[in-house]
Structure 1
Amino acid sequence: MNLSKKQAVFESEVVTRFELFNSLFMTLPFYQVKHTGTLLPFFTTHCEHGVADKMDPEAIIESFFGQYEQYVRESDRIDLLFRIIQYIERQVVLFDAVEDAAFRKTGRSDEAGLLDSVFKQTENNKELRSKLVEKLNDFSLRLVLTAHPTQFYPGPVLAIITDLIEALKTNDIHNIHLLLQQLGKTPFMKKNKPTPVDEAVSLAWFLEKVFYPVASGIQSKIEDEFDLPADENRQLVELGFWPGGDRDGNPNVTVESTKRVALLLRAVLFRCYYRDFRILKRRITFKGVEKYMDVLQDRFYENSFNPSENPENEKPVIVHNLKEIKRVLTDYHDGLFVELVDDLLRKVKTFGCFFATLDIRQDSSIIRQTHAYLRKAYAERITIPDNFEQLDEVGKQQALKFEEHDLAPGKDASALVADTLQVIRLISGIQQSGGERAAQRFIISNCQQAYDILELMELFLWSGWKTESLHIDFVPLFETVDDLKRAAAVMDRLYTHPQYQAHLKRRGNKQTVMLGFSDSTKDGGYLMANWSIYKAKIELTAIARQYDVDLVFFDGRGGPPARGGGKTQRFYASMGKEIANDHIQLTIQGQTISSQYGSLDTAHYNIEQLLHAGLTSHIEQRNGDTLSTDKKELIEYMAQISHGRFLELRHNPLFLKYLEHFSPLKFLSQINISSRPVKRNADRELRLEDLRAISFVTSWSQLKQNIPGFYGVGSALKQAEQDGKWEQVKDLYETSRMFQTIIDNCMMSMSKSNFDLTSHIQHDETFGAFWKEMRDEYERTTEYILKLSGSKVLMENYPVERASIALREKIVLPLLIIQHYAIKKLQKGKLNEKDQEVFSKLITRTIYGVVNAGRNLA
């Protein structure tokens, strides 16, 4: 489908239908203030004109009230703004539903990137097909769902969206009308802050409703296409889970919440099994299967509705009985309904008794504290020198003896130390009830030295684990630019450490390394972050190959390009021969979960895109994907320029003050969307290094400036041109899919920017010059990116996405005006306590709709 046709289809299937159903929605009398639905279009148009005229948000709103004073009494003005927010929140949901309902028609799913194209490509080429089958035997995709402060939709709203999508697909007007009424009356907000377990419940909705059928369906599709035997040890699509296990910086995650989440995942999974089993039971009513059916009925029902606090691993029993049913059907009943048994059997082999692997994550500083505590508390039992802390890194590595003990924390242990030691013991119990894959990874954040990993390994052995049965993968997380630089050296020391070598051998010589995008972008800027991670992957791959280690990269990617998101699959498709790419693992966060994996169609498409990227990078490497020395030097040159430009901005004393003054940063902690704080070290004054990357990026996106997603790129490209390197840069863009993706994702960030919204700041005595500096870099980057890509507008080659972004930005513009209006009112400091609370609430309420509409803004 060509670009113009795609646009036409999007216009008819999405834009026109949204306008049609939106007009129906706007006439529904949901709220107390009259004329809200009638006034909203006028308010939107007024905001658009005001922004185009570079008016102050306060002036925009005050002039609107003056123009429509006959409809809105002065006492109703603030109430009207709240009602407008409520309408727009639901408009966003409606647009999401319309767009997802039309997903198969809008031209995205016919892009190269689906598995069918791989099947077709290899069907007449035996050599290529054999190569692909070989790859499938050692390839996997792991999607890890993470707790995130921008996952806004509560369960009831997600259910409405799901039903609305299906009604829209069939143009069921009556049902659509009822669902819109339900949507209008269903609360979007939570009264209380969620706990880690609450977050797990929210994300389990996606596991149950989407990933359970889609992951097993894709597994079935590939097994059938290549006639691969079902193998429970080879799982193509794996699922991971962080809520309840990710305690890095989240003081609310405890060993109790970890246990409760593990039990929750199991219970949700068995409910899925039980629903499938009831279909099986209704069809398979033949002689010879009764006793097997009875066993399964008991196992599925009890684990679904009467779960034990200390359950057993039921997988072997379930698999055995399903196989026996299949045998009876094959031998005595002509194989009738055997496909239903195969489907459930495949799901049980895929998800076991755990559904998704529960990862545990903690900061290296806590690991060190815990190790130090046990050394002191059990000095008479542990063979470690008293001067351990004074030793250099090599000395510390040599001092670790990896003795087996059973050391419990005493009453004098701090909460974090006690939790660390308790969760190490809990992992063993989770493995016993769900199998090894239920909880097999411990991720060490802020990993700076090899002994960070080795100390953790020793903590396991000091907590009752045995060397020969230490079924745990120790995963270092490298995230800042400096950490990425020394990552290869850290792994080199680990690979040559005798005890760790032996442990890796028992784990199949497979090592997972996590690379984080969020803090590297905050630390080094967009281009340097992307390049630092790419360089680290090359260096880490070289070290791993030197020691014959099967390296797995686990990418901590957020939703927006500034945090590693965007067109993720294209990064994996562009990995050259120097980068290990046999397995793809990445986090999925925030509204990206609901936008890319919120429906069966979108989840199926996006999972297939990632699978396609991994498979095709193996069978058809492009010449430009493996960068030459000259091209590496060119990217390094531009990354350094971009990095310097970003640091100039970041080190400006106004940088953080600007963000605090004009963005809703300080209000993020007031909304009931996350169990974790906005920043680390919450008890001290805000510092940039403490600010979580999520909050950092979200604040810039609410300003519609998206600094982390582009700043410095324009300066780098301009300098390259001035230094006579422009033709080399053009060649790099045309030949390297990795660099193309960096630039294309940069365009996406910029398409969601609107400096006109904040143009009034240029007249501010304190911040005016600072704003102009950022605006100038935006315009510079726009000019040079368009020149490099040969485009007339940003995202010209992605007309559907560009049109979607434009319409979404139009929908939420009034929210941004209201937000900035309220911020300015509070800044003036002339409000009484009650009004301060009201305007603060206005700000927090606008954040939801803006992020949800952006789909990958935070």
Structure 2
Amino acid sequence: MIHDQRAEKFRQIVENKFQIYNSLFMSLPYDKMTNIGMLLPFLGEESKNGYEAGKTPEDIVEDFFKNHIDLQTEEQKLELLFKIIQYIERQVVLFDSIEDAAFPSLHSESDNGTVTNLFERSVQDHKLEKVREKLEDFTVKVVFTAHPTQFYPSSVQRIIQDLRSAIATDSITNIDMLLQQLGKTPFVNKEKPTPIDEALSIISYLRYVYYDTIGELFTKIKKTFKNGNFHIHEDLIQLGFWPGGDRDGNPFVTADVTKSVAQELHSAILKSYYSHLKFIRRRLSFRGVAETLNSLSEELYAAIFTGKKITSEDILKKADEAEKVLVEQHNSLFIDLLINFKDRVKIFGTHFATLDIRQDSRIHQKVIDEVYVKLYGKIVASNEEKFNTLIQISNKVNADEFEDIVRDTLITVSQVSEIQGLNGLRGMSRYIISNSDAVKDVMNVYAFFKVCGYRDEEINMDIVPLFETMEGLTNAENVMNELYQNPVYQKHLQRRGNQQTIMLGFSDGTKDGGYLKANWEIYKAKEVLTKLSEQNGIKVVFFDGRGGPPARGGGKTHDFYASQGKTIANNKIELTIQGQTITSIFGNKEQAKYNFEQLLTAGVENDVFKNSKKDLTEKERALIIELADISYQKYSDLKAHPMFVPYLQEMSTLEYYGKTNIGSRPTKRGGGSELKFEDLRAIPFVGSWSQLKQNVPGFFGFGFAMQQMKEQGRFDEVRDLYKGSDFFKTLVLNSMMSMNKSYFPLTYYIKNHPKFGAFWNILFEEYKLSKNIMLELTGFTMLQQEDPISRKSVEIREKIVLPLLSIQQYALMKIQKGEGNKEAYEKLVTRSLFGNINASRNSA
């Protein structure tokens, strides 16, 4: 019933508004775009009907030209197609803005997963004390990454924010003006953004969304659960930051960039305090209080503009002085304002968000090898001997004696203490190692600190292995076991409070092992590492590399975390968010607050409210292993197909990701011209399947595994698993979301392709099989039936972008045939790719 009401509300306040405001586009004075609004529905219809009838994108676009517009030359046709793309891009922005503005109306304070709901439930179940206990010892950390899954220029970002406000108040005049501005504002970055551009783009979210959101949410939790001795710690909600620190595969992130971004974060939080203080001083105008706060303002100003050092302790000391006078002489008037400010200083320190360093283990090995040779000559030594020798070192190596990446790595490590001096120890506190699969990968980083002159007790950094391939996940237990036994590392962990963070990568896991296998291997790795860490007296924290669509570990995050049982450590929920996930899930205050609450309550519920559906029985576990292995074999066969990489290279947009100027990183690791599967980055890999509307990494092999069970007469076991396990149910629903965003008619034409026809048919058959068997399993009549709002949103977006997909496929076909202006068609593919990326934001 509630589902139906929400779906109807969505129709009224999102779909209907979109129809109305979309009509404003038709009268806009675009350059040479007079009839686009009239023509676009025709291309939409030609596309929909044409694909259902098995026409090729080339036929569809040519029929559109022939039936609806009289254009003779290729140049005229190309110009029109570019204009259509521009028009659709702006339609997407309008729909985003309308959907965002509707968010508060579609969600309520007492929804499942909100703080209010958690409080009511804890009172009903007599678990209030237990919830308070968990809140005192729990953390949610959201880590922003610069992965390029969406990158509007900042000028467009600002229009989007203003448009959202205008739509919220239904101000037609303002909406009309903003749509005109949108019509004339370029959507494409002329050049690739630098890592500093990426950092500044996300820092603006920190300042204008998260500073208030997290501060207000903290106050709300305090008030909701208040009790005499109850104290929630200021690290309850934390922010992490990768742009400018993540150098894995990004040669543009250097030590200088890292230092600059740390300074930008420092400056941004001080500016936030300065403007917050301005507001407080309007109320706290009393003698003794006003002078103290004025003096604090001046100190913040000096720190921002002259670089004078200020610590969070300095700020709090002044605020405490003001509070003392306020209490003793002014009846504590407006004291909440001051307490709120102090809470934020405790939450954000002088760092705002923790800047992580990340690099690939293979680069680290190169650094260790070169340092070892420089110090000890070309002595043949094992990797273990190298790090064991280097961690004993007591004199500093000179970074300038090395070149390129080795020099830069050593400078990066050397400046950690300097950044911690400016931003506090929370400002930079961990070093993440991609592609970890051995003890040396962690110990090499420890050795860096020693060769850079740090004494053991000065290494104020967590060293975090990232296990992401199937091999890495399988080795994780042995690696961590050996590390926990290593006397040098044991002492390091003691100094770090006996806490170990371990990162697990969904994106590369799925790329490597397929959807079901990757999810299961990560679940299993968490269980094993939880047990191992407990045996060694270590508090383990899992950091999930998730984000975007289900194929990258995205999907319904609250359900995912709420489905993890007591066999998995639940000390902290920590995950990455990126690109369109930032804008679509944490993009404005209402959404961010709601989604932070969802994460927080998922973690608390897991410990406090017992539910048999969270814990797997031996029988359920055995069945998941069986399904995962069958699915892995099916996916591995697909990966081994000789057409797998050529198909992506020739028929998808993979090669064009690097031309979109939406991110600073190259699209593949390694510098060779030949494309190898292992060098493919997970984002262009998953994104290319998404642009083809095939979403293979989100379902392939899953349906096949269930079909095998059915053929063995064991489908009832799968049904019981779906009903009995929240973990399995979440996997099924997320996979159905992936399929709901697939549209195979777009590429029907490939089934007769001489080179790729057979390969395309393998994909299509698995899609049909997976869709049918999952509908049978769930009892649904359509995909995403359980989430009508999300389903409706997807439906409207898919309708908006269908003409865009037609244009993209048309251009790809022209390029494959070698017809016409190759450069223009390549630009057409890139531009439509850009529009599609932005349109698929709700893939999160």
Task: Give the TM-score, by structure 1 length.
Answer: 0.96
Task: Give the structure 2 partner of residue 340 of structure 1.
Answer: 337
Q: Which amino acid aligns with 2:833?
A: I
Match of 2:806 among 817, 824, 829: 817
Match of 1:641 among 630, 633, 641: 630
The answer to whether residue 733 in structure 2 is matched with residue 744 in structure 1 is yes
Question: Does the C-alpha gap of structure 1 residues 163 and 651 become closer, same or farther in structure 2, counting only changes over 3 Å?
Answer: same
Task: Give the structure 1 partner of residue 392 of structure 2.
Answer: 402
Offset at 1:63?
A: 0.7
Question: Does the C-alpha gap of structure 1 residues 404 and 138 become closer, same or farther in structure 2, counting only changes over 3 Å?
Answer: farther
2:368–2:386 Cα contact (<8 Å) kept: no
Query: Size of the alignment, in residue pairs?
Result: 843
| Deviations, residues 301-327 of structure 1 (Å, cap 9, x unaligned) | 2333x153xx63421111100111111
Offset at 1:342?
A: 1.4
Instruction: Name the SS of the counterpart of 2:285 in structure 1.
Output: coil
Distance in 2 of aligned mates of 1:804 and 1:340: 39
Question: Does the C-alpha gap of structure 1 residues 124 and 3 become closer, same or farther in structure 2, counting only changes over 3 Å?
Answer: closer
Question: What stretches of structure 1 of length at least 5 have no aligned partner?
Answer: none
Task: Give the structure 2 partner of residue 604 of structure 1.
Answer: 593
2:501–2:543 Cα contact (<8 Å) kept: yes
2:143–2:577 Cα contact (<8 Å) kept: yes
Offset at 1:388?
A: 2.6
Distance in 1 of aligned mates of 2:720 and 2:758: 36
1:596–1:602 Cα contact (<8 Å) kept: yes
Task: Give the structure 2 partner of residue 373 of structure 1.
Answer: 370
Task: Give the structure 2 partner of residue 37 of structure 1.
Answer: 37
Match of 1:794 among 783, 793, 817: 783
Task: Give the structure 2 partner of residue 498 of structure 1.
Answer: 487
Map 1:208-287 to 2 at 5 A: 208-227=207-226, 234-287=234-287
Map 1:298-317 to 2 at 5 A: 298-304=298-304, 306-308=305-307, 312-317=309-314
Map 1:612-651 to 2 at 5 A: 612-651=601-640
Task: Give the structure 2 partner of residue 690 of structure 1.
Answer: 679
Distance in 2 of aligned mates of 1:187 and 1:363: 36
1:143–1:585 Cα contact (<8 Å) kept: yes
Question: What stretches of structure 2 of length at least 5 have no aligned partner?
Answer: none
Task: Give the structure 1 partner of residue 830 of structure 2.
Answer: 844
Distance in 1 of aligned mates of 2:191 and 2:572: 39
Distance in 1 of aligned mates of 2:221 and 2:843: 34
- Of the structure 1 ranges 274-283 and 238-247, higher mean CA displacement relative to structure 2 is found in 274-283
Distance in 2 of aligned mates of 1:354 and 1:103: 30
2:29–2:180 Cα contact (<8 Å) kept: no
Task: Give the structure 2 partner of residue 485 of structure 1.
Answer: 474
Task: Give the structure 1 partner of residue 173 of structure 2.
Answer: 174
Percent identity over the alignment is 44
- Of the structure 1 ranges 112-121 and 45-54, higher mean CA displacement relative to structure 2 is found in 45-54
Instruction: Name the SS of the counterpart of 1:678 in structure 2.
Output: coil
The answer to whether residue 199 in structure 2 is matched with residue 200 in structure 1 is yes
Distance in 1 of aligned mates of 2:327 and 2:16: 53
Distance in 2 of aligned mates of 1:22 and 1:108: 28
The answer to whether residue 355 in structure 2 is matched with residue 355 in structure 1 is no
Q: Which amino acid aligns with 1:362?
A: Q
Question: Does the C-alpha gap of structure 1 residues 111 and 744 become closer, same or farther in structure 2, counting only changes over 3 Å?
Answer: farther
1:322–1:341 Cα contact (<8 Å) kept: yes
Offset at 1:72?
A: 8.2
Map 1:151-170 to 2 at 5 A: 151-170=150-169
Offset at 1:804?
A: 0.6
Instruction: Name the SS of the counterpart of 1:721 in structure 2.
Output: helix
Offset at 1:657?
A: 0.8
Distance in 1 of aligned mates of 2:7 and 2:520: 33
Offset at 1:399?
A: 5.2
Map 1:447-526 to 2 at 5 A: 447-526=436-515
Offset at 1:297?
A: 1.5
Instruction: Name the SS of the counterpart of 2:432 in structure 1.
Output: strand
Q: Which amino acid aligns with 2:217?
A: I
Instruction: Name the SS of the counterpart of 2:259 in structure 1.
Output: helix
Q: Which amino acid aligns with 1:246?
A: D
The answer to whether residue 829 in structure 2 is matched with residue 854 in structure 1 is no
Offset at 1:396?
A: 6.4
1:697–1:857 Cα contact (<8 Å) kept: no
Task: Give the structure 2 partner of residue 766 of structure 1.
Answer: 755
1:299–1:314 Cα contact (<8 Å) kept: no
Question: Does the C-alpha gap of structure 1 residues 775 and 307 become closer, same or farther in structure 2, counting only changes over 3 Å?
Answer: farther
Task: Give the structure 2 partner of residue 557 of structure 1.
Answer: 546
Offset at 1:830?
A: 3.3
Q: Which amino acid aligns with 1:476?
A: P
Question: Does the C-alpha gap of structure 1 residues 108 and 828 become closer, same or farther in structure 2, counting only changes over 3 Å?
Answer: farther
Instruction: Name the SS of the counterpart of 1:239 in structure 2.
Output: strand
1:477–1:513 Cα contact (<8 Å) kept: yes
Distance in 2 of aligned mates of 1:174 and 1:808: 25
Question: Does the C-alpha gap of structure 1 residues 684 and 69 become closer, same or farther in structure 2, counting only changes over 3 Å?
Answer: closer
Offset at 1:75?
A: 4.7
Map 1:84-95 to 2 at 5 A: 84-95=84-95
Q: Which amino acid aligns with 2:556?
A: K
1:714–1:784 Cα contact (<8 Å) kept: yes
Distance in 2 of aligned mates of 1:407 and 1:397: 14
Question: Does the C-alpha gap of structure 1 residues 109 and 221 become closer, same or farther in structure 2, counting only changes over 3 Å?
Answer: closer
Question: Does the C-alpha gap of structure 1 residues 644 and 765 become closer, same or farther in structure 2, counting only changes over 3 Å?
Answer: same
Match of 1:590 among 570, 573, 579: 579
| Deviations, residues 546-583 of structure 1 (Å, cap 9, x unaligned) | 11110000000121100100112211111111100120
| Deviations, residues 11-32 of structure 1 (Å, cap 9, x unaligned) | 1111111101111122212121
Question: Does the C-alpha gap of structure 1 residues 321 and 613 become closer, same or farther in structure 2, counting only changes over 3 Å?
Answer: same
Q: Which amino acid aligns with 2:662?
A: I
Distance in 2 of aligned mates of 1:73 and 1:423: 56
Q: CA RMSD in A?
A: 1.8
Task: Give the TM-score, by structure 2 length.
Answer: 0.97
The answer to whether residue 696 in structure 2 is matched with residue 707 in structure 1 is yes
Instruction: Name the SS of the counterpart of 2:192 in structure 1.
Output: coil
Instruction: Name the SS of the counterpart of 1:685 in structure 2.
Output: coil
Instruction: Name the SS of the counterpart of 2:828 in structure 1.
Output: helix
Task: Give the structure 2 partner of residue 414 of structure 1.
Answer: 403
Question: Does the C-alpha gap of structure 1 residues 474 and 319 become closer, same or farther in structure 2, counting only changes over 3 Å?
Answer: same
| Deviations, residues 358-389 of structure 1 (Å, cap 9, x unaligned) | 00001112222222222222239xxxx94432
Offset at 1:709?
A: 0.5
| Deviations, residues 95-118 of structure 1 (Å, cap 9, x unaligned) | 111111111223577641111111
Instruction: Name the SS of the counterpart of 2:240 in structure 1.
Output: strand
Distance in 2 of aligned mates of 1:18 and 1:582: 43
Distance in 1 of aligned mates of 2:74 and 2:620: 63
Q: Which amino acid aligns with 1:839?
A: Y
The answer to whether residue 2 in structure 2 is matched with residue 9 in structure 1 is no
Offset at 1:654?
A: 0.6
Distance in 1 of aligned mates of 2:545 and 2:2: 34
Instruction: Name the SS of the counterpart of 2:679 in structure 1.
Output: coil
Distance in 2 of aligned mates of 1:50 and 1:159: 38
Q: Which amino acid aligns with 1:545?
A: E
Map 1:511-550 to 2 at 5 A: 511-550=500-539
Offset at 1:69?
A: 2.9
Q: Which amino acid aligns with 1:780?
A: L
Distance in 2 of aligned mates of 1:69 and 1:811: 20
2:145–2:242 Cα contact (<8 Å) kept: yes
1:155–1:205 Cα contact (<8 Å) kept: no
Distance in 2 of aligned mates of 1:461 and 1:292: 44
Distance in 2 of aligned mates of 1:593 and 1:285: 38
| Deviations, residues 382-434 of structure 1 (Å, cap 9, x unaligned) | xxx94432x7x5x66765653433222243x2311111110101111010011
Question: Does the C-alpha gap of structure 1 residues 747 and 109 become closer, same or farther in structure 2, counting only changes over 3 Å?
Answer: farther
1:313–1:434 Cα contact (<8 Å) kept: no
Offset at 1:793?
A: 0.5
Offset at 1:45?
A: 1.6
